[in-house]
Structure 1
Amino acid sequence: MRAIRISQTGGPEVLEAVEIETPRPGPGEILVRNRAIGLNFIDTYHRTGLYPVKLPTGLGMEGAGEVVEVGEGVTRFAAGDLAAYASGPIGAYAEHHVVKADRAVRPPAGITAEVAAAALLKGMTAEFLLRRCFVVQPGQTILVHAAAGGVGSILVQWAKALGAVVIATVGSPDKADRARRLGADHAILYRDQDVAAEVRKITEGAGVPVVYDSVGAATFEASLKSLARRGLMVSYGNASGPAPAILPARLSQLGSVFLTRPTLFDYVATTEELDASAGALFAAIASGQVRIDIGQTFPLAETRAAHEAMEGRETIGASLLIP
């Protein structure tokens, strides 16, 4: 089968398309023939070495397709079922991928492999951020960075469905228009405007109870300064580089605020949590509360171009690799 591998960390140029033996599932595992593979910023962290991985390795955490073989003891899936996965193991950038049966879910009727691969990791991230990491309540005003991106676009829609007032930050006027179409009440151009000052203006000086920040270094300070007293800063990504270190006393000085750096994998640690999170996401999609916008697709052989577009902020919504 064709797969994308890296033998060293670095830029998109380290991505190589190779032919390798198609794997076989072991006990408790399933072999999925990928119809669509999700592109996520975490893939670039693995590629660059920001998140260390053992080399050589494949890349990719998310995909969806038909189950073509089940391992010993598997009862959760049968050959021919549609399966989607988003919590590893790493190596989804391939025509086939072996995953543990209890770490995959079966999308309901009406959810295609393409939508599942575009939605699962980003959508379950939005689910735990809005419903468990911080429980967003109707009428609360929240701040969402990178609101036109994959996770951000889902956060905006879902937060509006929960009754929140959404302040979105984006990198361009076109993306500001997109954020407003998704439901954002306010849009701030974070490269051109003082984000914290704009947030204070919108909230009449109060600040927001929660900030969702996937940008990292470029927005970290503005995020902290946008918080209300005892507010929560949720730093869940590093698109512009790792966020800086912070002394605990700084949190006190900003109004006894909180800081957390969560990962999806700690919120879907059990099969029950995985099923509940995916179920909530699929229900939100089916109800129309959340629309999954597949902004661009790339052939598997053009993974390098896909990474260049993603890191260059040239993508909108979700991106897919198609084997």
Structure 2
Amino acid sequence: MATQKRPLNLLIAAPRGFCAGVDRAITIVELAIERYGAPVYVRHEIVHNKFVVDSLKAKGAVFVAELDQVPDGVPVVFSAHGVPKAVPAKAEARGLNYLDATCPLVSKVHRQAERLVENGRHILFIGHAGHPEVIGTFGQVPEGRMTLIETAADAEAVMPEHPDDIAYLTQTTLSVDDTAGIIAILEKRFPSIKGPKGEDICYATSNRQAAVKEIARRCEAVFVIGAPNSSNSVRLVEVAEREGVRAKLIGRASDIDFSWLDGVTTLGITAGASAPEVLVREVVDHLQERFDVHEETVAGVQERMVFKLPRGLEAA
């Protein structure tokens, strides 16, 4: 006799998954393969998601850590996180045909950094050491013109040489709440500090964090589908935990530990900005094998953002 499945309510956050910048970056690699033929080289992971990277590899993309690993005469794509200025300069010097898949919202931060430094300001950059976006932004300005602030303690301790000539910028994929706390400290300590015109944290990061808060109020546990090196995905786990629920980052359905769901009657599901919807469906299907699932999408802000493709690829 078939055993009856235990009921499980699923609250699926919306918006979730791909943002416009990730969508554009993946499309750039796919169109480059279509236009130039394989292989097309990509410097760094185009976006932080193994499933996406593996599917692009299968189509003919070759991922490398540095430009030196790209042979002459083949096209190269720069990842969505942005690159230091030295990278395109090196590509040009070698005569490489390159396509820049940097998210336009990251490029906007790059331009702000250049302008602030041109105007004689030292930048306090709020972000995570070693993240490709941080490395790319630091690489837009001469060395020594930017200081990294990772925590509230850093904000309390930083001692700029000219405190009246400073500004702050932020990585686009940070925790909205943590960043607000750090900015408050900097503004209190340095009343003349100059901030960006709009918020640097991107719309998709903010929207996904707000959507997680919404579902966290109604469930006992949350799965965030995303990669451990995806900043925005890791932030979603932190946001859920701060709302008082257990949260776990999973790459895909095969990562589910069913014992972790013991006693859970309502489970929230979301996906980071670089995780495709196919992985969300895979997780739901896997849960249906074990539970009698009732699925509800909890809709938040509707996203209509679309970014243009680089010149020369639109026609493809």
Return the structure number with greater strand share: 1
Of structures 1 and 2, the one with the larger relative CO (CA 8 A, separation 6+) is 2
Superposed pair shares fold, TM > 0.5: no
Rg comparison, structure with higher value:
2
TM-score range relative to shorter protein: 0.3 to 0.5
**TM-score, normalised on structure 1?**
0.36
